[in-house]
Amino acid sequence: MNRTSLAVVCLLVVVAACGDDSTVDTTTTAVSTTATTTAAGTTVSETTTTTAATTTTDDAALLIEVAVHTAGIGLIVDGLVLESGVRVNVVAGSLVRIITSGEVADEVHVHGYDMTVDVTPGAEETLEFPADIPGIFEVELEDAGTLLFELEVS
């Protein structure tokens, strides 16, 4: 799916307001390029972009919205449109709220916390939990086997 399609999908998601004015969100993007030389002498470059969204207060909820459509996945973290596979940092003890919607039935699974929330076509579902286990946890679209994001609790 191209970036334009992802932006259109994300715009279809209703952004709910949460938290209070003391919430501080930052986004960091790191780009790295590696070059590999093949046996035939051809050099191949691979660029990797990693984005991390962070909530820095432990009294605010981190809002993560996941929209699953036939055209792809939309991911919004505290109002920021991000690509799948990002690492989302949250202060230990913060409340995490995952809201799902879309047109494709599946299940969002938060590994390590062993919690799930359904993606039900035509409906919004919500999973809310305190991020009280430190570490890095995959959050995936279970049936599709697609990594949505990594949740880093510190």
Q: If residue 81 lies in a helix (H) or strand (E), which one and from where to where?
A: strand 80-82
Q: How far apart are CA 32 and CA 148, in angstroms?
A: 21
Q: Is residue 27 part of a domain?
A: no
pTM of the full structure:
0.66
pLDDT given for residue 19 in this prediction: 36
pLDDT given for residue 94 in this prediction: 95
Total domains, the chain = 1
CATH number at residue 61: 2.60.40.420
Q: Is residue 98 part of a domain?
A: yes
Alpha helix ranges (H) inside the chain: 3-11
Q: Residue 110 is part of which domain span? A: 3-19+53-153
Q: Is residue 80 part of a domain?
A: yes
Q: Is residue 104 part of a domain?
A: yes
Q: Mean pLDDT, consecutive 10-residue segments, the chain of 154 residues?
A: 38 33 39 46 48 50 93 93 94 96 95 96 96 97 96 96
Q: Is residue 35 part of a domain?
A: no
User: Do 140 and 147 meet the contact criterion of CB atoms below 8 Å apart?
Assistant: yes
User: Do 137 and 145 meet the contact criterion of CB atoms below 8 Å apart?
Assistant: no
Q: How far apart are CA 43 and CA 139, in angstroms?
A: 34
Q: Is residue 46 part of a domain?
A: no
